[in-house]
Amino acid sequence: MERRQAPPDRIDRVLPEMFGRNHDSLVLYIETVCVDARGYPDLRRLSCNPERHPQFVAAGSGGWSVKYSTTLRDGTELPGHDDWDAVDDLVAAGLLEWRGTGVNPRFWLTDSGWARAHELRRKRAEKAFKT
């Protein structure tokens, strides 16, 4: 798949039909967080661009490198778009509710989010089973 970068100023909301592996993996991580950690994510596991989300760096969010930027389904890279931007995308898409505070987030999947997590897990299991 050809990898191309979106312009640096393009870190607007990503539509659900554009979600790629980064967004999908985040849905699955948040599903696990809901089941195993009462909705509280381990902030060290979420990539954080300090220029975009300094509050999460202070709270202990994961390190940053441009290589952690989000890649969309069509292979387009969004330089600087981190996991916190992807969380915002999931909230805007109606898959996720942000409960808790700004620096102490707590997440809950909506009914659509639970359905998406189930769909993703099943697809990954089917792929693994075939190999």
Name the maximum alpha-carbon separation found in the chain. Answer: 43
Question: Is CATH 1.10.10.10 the classification given to domain 16-130?
Answer: yes
**What is the structure's pLDDT at 4?**
40
Q: For the chain, 131 residues long, give each residue's pLDDT as a single digit of tens.
A: 333 444 444 556 799 999 999 999 999 999 999 999 999 999 989 999 988 888 888 666 667 888 888 999 999 999 989 999 999 999 999 999 999 888 789 999 999 999 999 999 999 999 999 87
**What is the structure's pLDDT at 12?**
66
Nearest C-alpha neighbor of 124 from the set 6, 43, 53, 29: 29
Residue found under tokens 């798949």 = 1
Q: Where is 21: in which H helix or E strand? A: helix 21-36
